[in-house]
Structure 1
Amino acid sequence: MASRPRGSRSLRTLLAALVVTSVVLPVSGAARPAAVPAPAPRALAPLRDAGPGSLAGRYAVNRAGIRTAERMAEGHGDRARAHALREMARPERQFLFFDGRDGGRTTEVFGDLARAERIAVLVPGSDTSLDRYKRLLDGAVALQRELGGRSAVVAWLGYRTPSTVSPEVLTPRLAAEAAPGLRAFTGAVAALRPTARISVLCHSYAAVVCGRAAPGLEATDLVLFGSPGAGADSVAALHTRATVWAGRGDDDWIADVPHGQVHLPFGTVGLGADPVAPGFGARVFPAGPGGHSDYLRPGSVSLRNLARIVSGRAPSEGSRHA
């Protein structure tokens, strides 16, 4: 019997996954706690002044908002959220933006943004929120330390990330909603620090966000790692002037995710072609051993090469062109 085309198998796999997650979602959603109340963020002027005094004032305003959110979480009886917010309100933390509603939206700076010559905008993937912020925090700290002086890492949690066990993680809908905000933010950073080298680093589902934001994105490099797709079939389809990089760890389960997109009456299912595949056209960098959550692990090949890309240097250990 003749084998079915690979595209047909991918289509069946995508549709099967959609059915499974559609069944699982109501069960997992029902187990979630009620939304924790938080104040609306205070309106701030556009980010135009990179002076230390201006940034310090912005950080102070957001710190006050975080403390208010902490008190509201405590009053709501969510001690875990209150504890997380208490940590975020520490004097050394630097938030350009904070909104504790609907899972949380934050933009946190690591390093000295006012003097940075190299800036990495780090965009997280699925299951990232105020309650699951530590992985993003640890990764941003590790990357900034690897980069060293005259650098800054900005952790941009500017969108509602999908749950890994949900139909939303199989579609680009949330990414499409997030893309304008990411594009606007990188534009503001570029205007703030016009001589700095800016790289946008996109983990997992965030690669879809970055793919949607790519046209007009103010960045020298666009780096996709642990990516299930970028919402496109090729680098050319991203319509970006940035150099596009892609990497995947040897033990990352994302390699087994079916790639491609299916356009159905109710929307699009699938996240596009595999960014590390030769036909996609990205510059593939070695990510070494490690799983889906290990790319920013201190001492790893992937962290070292991400830092090299942000610094404008070639990745090490056998970098190749796909």
Structure 2
Amino acid sequence: MLAVGNPDLAENVAVYVPGTTAQLDSIGGDIDRVANLYRRSEKYGSGSVATIMWLGYDAPDTIIKDASMDKYAERGAPDLLSFLNGLEVDQDKHVTALGHSYGSVVIGEGANQGDLRADEIIAVGSPGMHVGQAKDLDVGEDHVWIQKAEGDPVPALGRFVHGSSAGVGIPTLPLVPSDDGFGGTILSTDTHGHSDYWKAESVSLDNQAKVIMGGHETREVGDDPELAPRPMLYR
């Protein structure tokens, strides 16, 4: 675990769960992401913030061979649940669980295995979450937020591995979070591909910061002067 800010004292805490190939000896890119999240969140809204890079699970080593397996999420989910439970000792904290790629699978599996103690979930470039709909993720579908950038192939590639049917009684394609039938709220992105959602000064990053700081509950674009000139946040 690496934190930017003080998670013990912060009123708003984001736990970023990285995806495939995340390893301690090559974690620099993920550290940059949580640092960007912290800087952007600190400028938005009110209250203090901390962002955490949580690598408390054995992430898949390779995309083709390992990322298709459930075992990494199944083994990592209990540790994520325990970590989130520790944060929620302070009931006044606003906690966001943010999963990138396979990290979102770990979060979804956590909801399958237990009670996911978070206030918000953000699934970014998700290949599926082992649940069929946002309402199955413990936080309520109004608190599930999804980003899928143009040119990100992972949701389509992961559908038949980590996607899940909606359980409506008829055969359907497995759903991933960015599908309309999944529920939750799709956040606008202005980045491209699978890895640039945390690009500084991007709308993609702004929208994550708004969720972390609780600012999306008003559903208003202009609720912060610094963000008001940005494009519409919902589609």
Q: Is the 8 A contact 1:249 1:287 kept in 2?
A: yes
Q: Is the 8 A contact 2:118 2:139 kept in 1?
A: no
- Following TM superposition, by how much is the alpha carbon of 1:115 offset from its aligned partner in structure 2, in angstroms? 2.2
Name the CA distance, whole Å, in 2 between partners of 1:209 and 1:170: 13
Name the CA distance, whole Å, in 1 between partners of 2:185 and 2:152: 19
Name the CA distance, whole Å, in 2 between partners of 1:196 and 1:257: 35
Classify the secondary structure of the residue corresponding to 1:168.
Answer: coil
Of 128, 141, 144, the residue aligned with 1:229 is: 128
Q: Is the 8 A contact 1:286 1:305 kept in 2?
A: yes
Larger RCO, structure (CA 8 Å, separation 6 or more): 2
Structure 1: runs of 5 or more not aligned:
1-106, 261-269
Structure ID, larger Rg:
1
Classify the secondary structure of the residue corresponding to 1:126.
Answer: coil
Return the letter of the residue paired with 1:287: T
- Following TM superposition, by how much is the alpha carbon of 1:308 offset from its aligned partner in structure 2, in angstroms? 0.3
1:252 aligns with 2:152: yes
Report Cα offsets for 1:50-78 as digits up to 9, x if no partner: xxxxxxxxxxxxxxxxxxxxxxxxxxxxx
Q: Is the 8 A contact 2:134 2:140 kept in 1?
A: no
TM-score between the two structures when normalised by the length of structure 1: 0.60
1 or 2, which has the higher helix percentage?
Answer: 1
Report Cα offsets for 1:241-294 as digits up to 9, x if no partner: 47211111112222441513xxxxxxxxx1012211111112111122222111
Name the CA distance, whole Å, in 2 between partners of 1:278 and 1:236: 13
Name the CA distance, whole Å, in 2 between partners of 1:258 and 1:216: 25
Classify the secondary structure of the residue corresponding to 1:286.
Answer: coil
Aligned length: 205
1:136 aligns with 2:30: yes
Change (3 A) 1:123 1:258: closer
- Following TM superposition, by how much is the alpha carbon of 1:239 offset from its aligned partner in structure 2, in angstroms? 4.4
The alignment's C-alpha RMSD in Å is 1.8
Report Cα offsets for 1:289-309 as digits up to 9, x if no partner: 222111111111111100001
1:217 aligns with 2:116: yes
Matches within 5 A, 1:112-261: 112-148=6-42, 150-191=48-89, 193-214=90-111, 215-241=114-140, 243-260=143-160
Matches within 5 A, 1:50-69: none
Return the letter of the residue paired with 2:38: Q
Partner of 1:276: 178
1 or 2, which has the higher strand percentage?
Answer: 1
Structure 2: runs of 5 or more not aligned:
164-174, 222-230
Partner of 2:172: none
- Following TM superposition, by how much is the alpha carbon of 1:140 offset from its aligned partner in structure 2, in angstroms? 0.8
Name the CA distance, whole Å, in 1 between partners of 2:39 and 2:107: 24
TM-score between the two structures when normalised by the length of structure 2: 0.81
Instruction: Using the aligned pairs only, state the percent identity.
Output: 30
Classify the secondary structure of the residue corresponding to 2:76.
Answer: helix
Name the CA distance, whole Å, in 2 between partners of 1:127 and 1:298: 23
Q: Is the 8 A contact 2:144 2:185 kept in 1?
A: yes
Report Cα offsets for 1:30-66 as digits up to 9, x if no partner: xxxxxxxxxxxxxxxxxxxxxxxxxxxxxxxxxxxxx
Report Cα offsets for 1:172-215 as digits up to 9, x if no partner: 21101100110110110110x32111100000001110001124
